[in-house]
Structure 1
C-alpha cells in the first residue's frame, strides 16, 4: 500500500488526503485559522482508486480506511479530517463504528460544513464534480443536512469528467480552466435565479470559489478545516 506521510509528533489534527496537492492548501489555511498549530498529513491515493474501481462497499477499501484510522490514533491524533469527498462519509461511518476500538479519535468529512453553508443560501443547489464517484456521497450528505434543516433539497449536478485528466496529469491550470468554462456555461444556461448556491464537490476545486460569480460558489477546505479545528478545541 502506497503511503506518503508528514507527521509532526505534536500534531493532534491529522488530514487524510488522496492527492499530495492538498497539503500546501490546507497548511496555508491552517496558518490563517490557527497559526502555529501543527498538522499531520497522510496521502493515500490508493483508497480513491479502490473506491472508483470497486465501489464504497469494497471490503478492501473498508479495511484500508480502518487501517488509516488505527494509524491516526496510534500517532496521537484526536481528530482526523478526510479531505476526499468520495471517501468522507465512509471514513466518518467507519470511525463511528470503531469508537470503542479507537477511543478519543473523531473523524470528520471535509465537505460537511460546506453543505451546511450552502443550504443556508437555499435548497436550489448546483453540485460540481470532476469524478462520478464524488456525486452520490455529496448528494447523500446534502439530503441528510436538508432534512435536518426541514428543507426540501432541489439539487442538480454538473459532472465535468474531462477535467479529471488534467488533474491526474498535474495540470492544475487546465483542470481549473475546464471547470470554470463548464460552470459558467451551466449557470448561463440555467439562469442565475434558478440556483441559490454552487458547491464545488472536490477540495481540489477550491481556487474557483475565490473568483467572481453571479451566485455564491462554495468550496470545502476552509469551512471543513474550521469545523475540524472547532472539534479539536471542544475536546469531544
Structure 2
C-alpha cells in the first residue's frame, strides 16, 4: 500500500508519521508532498477558486499512477477530493477531514468541532453539519490560534487547542473533533480519552485497515 499525503504545512509530516508509528504502519508506505503556496493562494482569494481547483486536480491526476491512495490533509483544499469518485479510480483520493466527519456523525450525543483557521469556517460547517437528520455539532473557532500557528509558536498553539478541548468537555460535550490536522498533537494531553478525535489516525486506519 502506497499513500501520498498532500500537505500545505510541513509540520503535518511529523503528525502523520507519528500516527503511522502508533498504528504500526512502516514509514516507507507514506510519501509526503508539501504545497504551502496553494493554501496561501486560497487564503488570498478568500477560498478555493475554480482556477486553483483545476490546478490541484491536474496535479493529483499526475501522481495517481504512483499511489494506491492520496490523502488531502488541508481542510481548505479538501473539497478537491470530490472530483475523484473513489469507485472509478484505482487510486482513491480522500480528504482527511471527511473521514473525521464520518466517524463523528456515527457517534451519539453532543459534539463540538473545533477549528483554528478562520478561512475554513464555511467548508468545515458544510462538512460536519451535512446530515440535517441528526443532532448538529457545534462548530467553534479557537480564537487567535491560527495567527499563533503561522508565527511558528507551536507550543502556544497546541496549548490553546488543548484549552479549547478541555472547555468543550467541561461544558458537557460527548465528542470533540479537531478539524485541522495541525491541531492533532493537542490530543496527547487527553491520552486515552476516546471522546477526542483527530483525522490523521482515523484516515490512516481507513487506508490501511
TM-score range, shorter chain: 0.7 to 0.9
Alpha-carbon distance in 2 for matches of 1:162, 1:143? 24
Match of 1:63 among 43, 49, 54: 54
Once the two structures are superposed, residues 65-92 of structure 1 have per-residue CA deviations (whole angstroms, 9 ceiling, x without a partner) of 1132123225x1121011112222x221
TM-aligned CA deviation for residue 163 of structure 1: 1.1
Residue 84 of structure 1 is matched in structure 2 by 74
After TM superposition, what 4+ stretches of structure 1 lie above 3 angstroms from structure 2? 182-188, 212-215
Match of 1:157 among 136, 139, 153: 139
Structure 1 unaligned residues grouped into runs of 5+: 1-10, 231-236
Once the two structures are superposed, residues 102-138 of structure 1 have per-residue CA deviations (whole angstroms, 9 ceiling, x without a partner) of x422101112232232233325211111112223222
User: Using a 3 Å threshold, how does the CA distance of structure 1 residues 64 and 141 change in structure 2: closer, same or farther?
Assistant: same
Alpha-carbon distance in 1 for matches of 2:108, 2:121? 19
User: Using a 3 Å threshold, how does the CA distance of structure 1 residues 120 and 211 change in structure 2: closer, same or farther?
Assistant: farther
How high is the TM-score relative to the length of structure 2? Answer: 0.85
Residue 22 of structure 2 is aligned to residue 32 of structure 1: yes
| Number of residue pairs the alignment of both structures matches | 206
Once the two structures are superposed, residues 195-219 of structure 1 have per-residue CA deviations (whole angstroms, 9 ceiling, x without a partner) of 2211111111112223239881111
How high is the TM-score relative to the length of structure 1? Answer: 0.76
Match of 1:182 among 143, 150, 164: 164
TM-aligned CA deviation for residue 187 of structure 1: 4.5
Q: Is the 8 Å Cα contact of residues 126 and 199 (structure 1) preserved in structure 2? A: yes
Q: Give the CA RMSD over aligned residues.
A: 2.5
Residue 54 of structure 1 is matched in structure 2 by 45
Structure ID, larger Rg? 1
Q: Which moved more, 1:50-59 or 1:219-228?
A: 50-59
